[in-house]
C-alpha cells in the first residue's frame, strides 16, 4: 500500500529587435505586446504584495527556509494560485471505479462537490475555492492495443462532455495523461486544442509512465525533471501565443522515484506547478508521504488527494478533513477527491 518570474518586459525586446533592423522580429514583438494587452484587459493583474503574503500564509510557519519557495516567478494576470484553493473531482466518464467523476451522475456528483467546496470555504475563510473537474484524458490500460502502448486516448466527445458539466459550476477542467508505454512528447500535443482554452489545465501521472517497458500497474513509473520541463515549456508557449491566463500544472507523486531530479524543475510566470501527493491510506501514512516527498522537495505549490473508498480501508477507516490538511506544512493549494 502506498500513501500514494517576474513578467517579461517586452518593451526591451522590442527596442533591441528594431535596432537590429529585423522587421520580422519587430512584428513578433508587436504581436506579443498585443497578446499581453489582451490578457491584461481580460484578467486582473497580480498584486505582488498580496502574492507574497499568500505564499507565506501557505508556508504555515515553516522555519527551515524550504517554504515558501525562493525565487519563484510572479505569475501573469489571471493566476488562480495562491489566491484561490482548487478543489477537484477526479475520474473518467467511462468508469465508475476510477473516481467520483464518472461514479455518480453529473447532477449528483456536482451536488457532492458543492458540499466539499463549502467545507473548505468554512475551514479556510481566507481562501476562496475554485471548483474543478480533473478528467483522465489518456488512460493506462491492461491491454496493449494496436500499437502496443497500453494507453487509450479518450474521444473528443467525452472531453466535450466534461467541459459541459464543468460549465454548470463555472469549474475549471484538468486533462490528465497516463502515458503508459507511450511518452509525454507524443501525447501532450494531441490535447492542444483543449489546452488553448483559458479554463483547461494539465495533469500528468508518473505512476503510469513506464520508461522501463513494464506494463502499467505492475510497477510504479517515473518522470524526470526534463519531462516536467517539457510540459511546462509547452504550456508556457500556449499561454504566450494565445494571451491566456497561467496554466495550473499538476504532477502526481507518492514515492521518491516517481519524480527524479526535482531540483532541476524550471518555473515560469505562465505556469503554476503543483506537486500533488497522490497516495492513499491512513492519515498518518498520508502525512508521512507528504512530508517525505512533497514538503522535503519544494517546487512551487502543493496538492493532496483524498480517496472516498481507499482511505477507509485501514484503521482508523476515515478520510482526512480539511481542518487536518490545513495544519500541514505547507498548506496544500490543490485538493483532489477520487
pLDDT tens digit sequence for 10-68: 222 222 223 344 556 666 667 778 888 878 788 888 999 999 999 999 999 999 999 99
Supply the pLDDT for residue 53: 97
Other beta carbons within 10 Å of 319? 16
Supply the pLDDT for residue 36: 81
- Whether residue 5 lies inside any domain: the answer is no
Position of cell 506537486?
275
Q: Looking at the 3D structure of the chain, how many domains does it have? A: 1
Quote the domain boundaries for residue 171.
10-337
| Distance in angstroms (rounded) separating the CA atoms of residues 49 and 136 | 36
- Whether residue 191 lies inside any domain: the answer is yes
- Whether residue 1 lies inside any domain: the answer is no
Helix (H, G, I), strand (E, B) or coil at 129: strand
- Whether residue 3 lies inside any domain: the answer is no
Strand-pairing partners, residue 260, are 224
| Distance in angstroms (rounded) separating the CA atoms of residues 110 and 100 | 10
Give the three cell numbers for residue 179. Answer: 502515458
> Residue ranges of the chain with pLDDT lower than 70?
1-29
Give the three cell numbers for residue 33. Answer: 505586446
Supply the pLDDT for residue 41: 82
Enter the DSSP assignment of 297: S
Q: What is the CATH number of the domain that holds 62?
A: 3.20.20
Host H or E run for residue 230? helix 225-242
Strand-pairing partners, residue 140, are 151
Q: 147: buried, middle or exposed (CB in 10 Å: 19+, 13-18, 0-12)?
A: exposed
Give the three cell numbers for residue 321. Answer: 478533513
98 in Cβ contact with 91 (< 8 Å): yes
- Whether residue 87 lies inside any domain: the answer is yes
Supply the pLDDT for residue 42: 87
Average model confidence (pLDDT) for the chain?
91
| Distance in angstroms (rounded) separating the CA atoms of residues 213 and 219 | 10
- Whether residue 89 lies inside any domain: the answer is yes
Give the three cell numbers for residue 261. Answer: 531530479
Give the three cell numbers for residue 256. Answer: 521518491
Supply the pLDDT for residue 26: 66
Amino acid at each position: 500500500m502506498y500513501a500514494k518570474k517576474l513578467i517579461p518586459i517586452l518593451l526591451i525586446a522590442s527596442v533591441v529587435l528594431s535596432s537590429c533592423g529585423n522587421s520580422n522580429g519587430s512584428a513578433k514583438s508587436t504581436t506579443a505586446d498585443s497578446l499581453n494587452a489582451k490578457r491584461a484587459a481580460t484578467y486582473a493583474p497580480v498584486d505582488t504584495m498580496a502574492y507574497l503574503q499568500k505564499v507565506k500564509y501557505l508556508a504555515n510557519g515553516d522555519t527551515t527556509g524550504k517554504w515558501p519557495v525562493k525565487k519563484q516567478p510572479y505569475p501573469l494576470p489571471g493566476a488562480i494560485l495562491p489566491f484561490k484553493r482548487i478543489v477537484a473531482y477526479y475520474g473518467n466518464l467511462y468508469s465508475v471505479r476510477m473516481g467520483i467523476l464518472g461514479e455518480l451522475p453529473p447532477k449528483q456528483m456536482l451536488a457532492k462537490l458543492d458540499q466539499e467546496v463549502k467545507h473548505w470555504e468554512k475551514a479556510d475563510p481566507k481562501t476562496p475555492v475554485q471548483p474543478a473537474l480533473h478528467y483522465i484524458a489518456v488512460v493506462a490500460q491492461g491491454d496493449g492495443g494496436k500499437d502496443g502502448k497500453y494507453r487509450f486516448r479518450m474521444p473528443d466527445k467525452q472531453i466535450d462532455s466534461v467541459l459541459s458539466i464543468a460549465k454548470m459550476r463555472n469549474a475549471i477542467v484538468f486533462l490528465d495523461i497516463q502515458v503508459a508505454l507511450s511518452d509525454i512528447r507524443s501525447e501532450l500535443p494531441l490535447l492542444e486544442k483543449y489546452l488553448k482554452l483559458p479554463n483547461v489545465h494539465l495533469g500528468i501521472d508518473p505512476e503510469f509512465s513506464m520508461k522501463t517497458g513494464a506494463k502499467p500497474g505492475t510497477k510504479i513509473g517515473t518522470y524526470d525533471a526534463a519531462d516536467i520541463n517539457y510540459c511546462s515549456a509547452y504550456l508556457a508557449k500556449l499561454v504566450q501565443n494565445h494571451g491566456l491566463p497561467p496554466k495550473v500544472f499538476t504532477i502526481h507523486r507518492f514515492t521518491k522515484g516517481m519524480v527524479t531530479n526535482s531540483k532541476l524543475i524550471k518555473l515560469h510566470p505562465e505556469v503554476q506547478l503543483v506537486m500533488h501527493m497522490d497516495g492513499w491510506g491512513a492519515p498518518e501514512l498520508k502525512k508521512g508521504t507528504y512530508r517525505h516527498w512533497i514538503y522535503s522537495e519544494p517546487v512551487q505549490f502543493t496538492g493532496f488527494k483524498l480517496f472516498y473508498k481507499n482511505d477507509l480501508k485501514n484503521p482508523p477507516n476515515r478520510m482526512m478533513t480539511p481542518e487536518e490538511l490545513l495544519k500541514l506544512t505547507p498548506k496544500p493549494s490543490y485538493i483532489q477527491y477520487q
